[in-house]
Amino acid sequence: METINFVYNLIPDQFIAIIVICTIPLIFLIVYALLAILGELKISAWIQERLGPMRTGPWGILQPIAEVVKLIQKEDLTPDTANKPLFNLAPFIIFMGAYASFAVIPFSRYFIPSDINIGLFYIFAVGSIAVIGIVMGGWASNNKYSLLGAMRSVAQIISYEIPGAMAILSVAVLASSLNLEKINIAQEGGIWNWFVFGGQGSWDKLWVVPFTLILSLIYLISSLAETNRTPFDIPEGESELVAGYHTEYSGMKFAMFFFAEYANMFVVAAVLTITFFGGWNSPFGNFMQGPGWDVFWFVGKSFFFVIVQIWLRWTLPRLRVDQLMYVGWKVLLPFSFICFLFISLFRMIN
């Protein structure tokens, strides 16, 4: 929190100070998105035995910038029969959902833009705003593919939020808090104290380790569904629905969808890091632990999970929409409930 107070002290006008603090995650997000686009291009290339982009800049590192420039130059089309206000608003609402989550994401113990006591709940709440944007975009496009994609997307995101929320709720039970800072502090002291291994505690916690392991996996799977990534990229499955809900979008509005998808990938990776993988804590106890290292560990772990998402995307085929629902309601949900129940019992007994 010190950084925030420092900024408040430095800039006497509170309004400007808030804007400065809001801008920091945005700048981070832009840099991250460029890196992630390059990562996606390069990792997919390595998986597929290609070179990937090599011409723009040394080793192709300027490719993301070239892509952004290309998207800016493109004509910003709005279909004649589209509902224009909704059509134009949709990409920004989707992006807003992803960006708003950054208000509570703790990059370091010194940088938590807004340290509210229901951080986890808040992330889930604003994350769901994306659904509204998708429905708006899909319906307003006046295109059957967009509509089908939007309908699928709503069903998918809403059903996968429940197992994801159950997984996160178990962490809240273990940490006795919804505050992201307290959840981070509860995992201090090395890799063995992370919630994926049951959090801090004596050997008793071995009872919950299997459940927390399963829950971290459940959250990873449902987060893939929430970000519409393969194997759950059914709303925009290009082989069926051309591009799903963003079929009619071009130019910068399409770029906003793209940006929001990458931002969402980071958000779910960050939540997974915070809740199960120690957040800003070093895996070696007090070694490499401190405010500066916080950023390194947090961003490093989150990037790792972003890479996992990219890796899965280029490896797995896509599920069908009814199979997706089956996995969500009949596999993940009961498992997450059972795990949640056992963890709650464990907390009650201890």
Partner 1 sequence: MGEKKRIELDYSKIESDRMRLNVGPQHPSTHGVLRLEVELDGEIVTEVVPHIGYLHRCFEKHAEKMTYPQVIPYIDRMDYVTSMNNELPYVMAVEKMLGIKVPEKVEYIRVIMCELNRIASHQIAVATFGLDAGAFTPFLYFFRDREYILAIFEKASGARLLFNYFWIGGLSADVHPTFKEDVLAIVKQVRKTNKEIEDLLIYNKIFIERTANVGILPADVAINYACSGPVLRGSGVKFDLRKNEPYSIYDRFDFDIPVGMGEVGTVGDSWDRNIVRMREMEQSCRIIEQAVAQMPDEGDVQEKLPKRIKPPKGDIYMRAENPKGDLGFYIVSNGTDKPERVKARGTSFVNLSVLPEISKGYMFADLILILGSIDIVLGEVDR
Binding site for partner 1 (CB under 8 A): 44, 47-50, 80-81, 144-145, 148, 230-231, 233-234, 237-240, 242, 314-323
Nearer to partner 1, 85 or 292 (CB): 85
Q: Which residue has the tokens 């490499």?
A: 288
> In this structure, are residues 199 and 174 in contact, taking their beta carbons and an 8 Å threshold?
yes
Q: Is 318 in a helix, a strand, or coil?
A: coil
Nearer to partner 1, 90 or 321 (CB): 321
CB proximity list for 248: less than 8 A, separation 6 or greater: 77, 79, 82, 87, 141, 142, 143, 146
Tell me the C-alpha distance between 230 and 164, whole Å.
17
Task: Judge residue 63's burial from the number of C-beta atoms within 10 Å of its C-beta, 0-12 exposed, 13-18 middle, 19 or more buried.
Answer: buried
**Least distance between partner 1 and beta carbon 146 (Å):** 12
Cα-flanking dihedrals φ and ψ of residue 111, to 5°? -135, 90
- The answer to whether the bond into 231 is cis (omega within 30° of 0) is yes
Tell me the C-alpha distance between 343 and 198, whole Å.
9
Nearer to partner 1, 144 or 330 (CB): 144
Nearer to partner 1, 174 or 225 (CB): 225
Tell me the C-alpha distance between 340 and 105, whole Å.
24
Nearer to partner 1, 13 or 322 (CB): 322
Nearer to partner 1, 151 or 209 (CB): 151
